[in-house]
Amino acid sequence: MKTIVITGGAGFIGNHVVRLFVNKYPDYRIINVDKLTYAGNLANLKDVEHSPNYEFRRIDICDFDTVYSLMRDEQVSGIVHLAAESHVDRSIKDPFSFAQTNVMGTLSLLQSARMYWESLPEKYDGKNFYHISTDEVYGALILNRPDGDGHGNGPYGDDLFTEENKYMPHSPYSASKASSDHFVRAFHDTYGMPTIITNCSNNYGPYQFPEKLIPLFINNIRNRKPLPVYGKGENVRDWLYVEDHARAIDLIFHNGIPGETYNIGGFNEKKNIDVVKTMVKIVDRLLGRAENEDENLITFVTDRAGHDLRYAIDASKLNRHLGWKPQVNFDEGIELTVKWYLDNEEWMNNVTSGDYQRYYESMYGKR
């Protein structure tokens, strides 16, 4: 069986990719490598944990010796690298941990893969190192509506991020991801390692850790807690439903061209305040409350340091080269997402209480 390692597979995007690969490719052996930090939760994979082609390994990707042993002993032929620290607010408070995991962890994986694959008679034939990154490495786009001449590419501005954009990261998080991208490209250019990079827009959907905007606010609305919105809520993001992202990762892993970069976007630009008001409307309706009853929970707080005003991805290259386009628009996706969190209150309570972490500490010891 071909052995594929998916790093960060107990996290938000990772669990969707693991599930897709395990169910779609029974002839693959999928090894989920995750350190189980606060954002990793094996409960996200209850439905596949006993599948014959699935294994979990609790490994810190920064531990080079352990990662290299895994590559060698399990004869790994492909890596889908999702493990990362990803919350911008946390990166502002603790940039060192972001540099450690996102930069040194990626370098550990690259070097382990290179050393093992180069030791084989076939070397890089049939091998693939796929690194998932973010649109935040590109910096910020100008926020302005098209002038009405019909040539605008987005509702909030004519320009979109393409694969040719220069890197201009503005937060410790985006700087760490930009650095890891550069290392991946360097290993392709220096050693001939078959690597692929994708930069995606904001993901949303089931199993996202509730420090992020959408799950946090759904839970706050349900419990009638304040909804703190940065600045005036004018920041614009492109929203990508997580299952669409998983499908794109699957397609690119199997059909992408080594050395290429592909942008993955949802073509769903929304202002943060509009996303929040949409969630209020849906939660109130699904809970049988009066329409927009909980809009009074919205409060505006001091903007975050280095808060980019607008991100938006141009995913047309991916469409041209591999035929991918998102299947779920935002109206459909946000309805599905709100319903999932409301229907999975036990999952949310287990995460917000920290019970899931105490359970893993009892099994594996403290990190």
Query: Residue 319 above 80 pLDDT?
Result: yes
Choose, from 60, 85, 135, 238, the residue flagged as catalytic. 135
DSSP state of 290: P
Binning pLDDT at 50, 70 and 90, where does residue 353 land?
Answer: confident
Q: Which residues of 224-239 are buried (b: 16+ CB within 10 A; e: fewer)?
A: eeebebbeebbbbbbb
Closest CA to 236 of 271, 201, 279: 271
Is the Cβ–Cβ distance between 65 and 41 less than 8 Å?
A: no
Catalytic residue among 34, 85, 136, 238, which?
Answer: 136
Is 135 considered catalytic here?
A: yes
Tell me if 251 sits within 8 A of 312, measured CB to CB.
Answer: no
Instruction: Tell me which DSSP letter residue 36 carries.
Output: -
* Catalytic residue (choose from 116, 130, 173, 207): 173
pLDDT in tens, 40-98: 999 999 999 999 999 999 999 999 999 999 999 999 999 999 999 998 989 999 999 99
Contact 28, 53 (CB under 8 A): yes
pTM (predicted TM-score): 0.94
Residue pLDDT, tens place only, 143-177:
654 444 433 466 676 689 999 999 999 999 999 99
63 is known as an active-site residue: no
> Which residue stretches of the chain are H helix?
12-24, 64-73, 88-93, 95-98, 105-118, 172-191, 213-222, 242-255, 272-286, 316-322, 330-343, 345-353, 355-364
DSSP state of 137: G
Residue type, 274: D
- Give the burial class of 67: count Cβ atoms within 10 A of its Cβ; 0-12 exposed, 13-18 middle, 19 or more buried: buried
The rounded distance, in Å, linking the Cα atoms of 78 and 194 is 10
* Residues constituting the chain: 367
For residue 53, what is the DSSP state?
T
- DSSP line for 6-24: EETTTSHHHHHHHHHHHHH
Dump pLDDT digits (tens) for 105-135.
Answer: 999 999 999 999 999 999 999 999 999 999 9
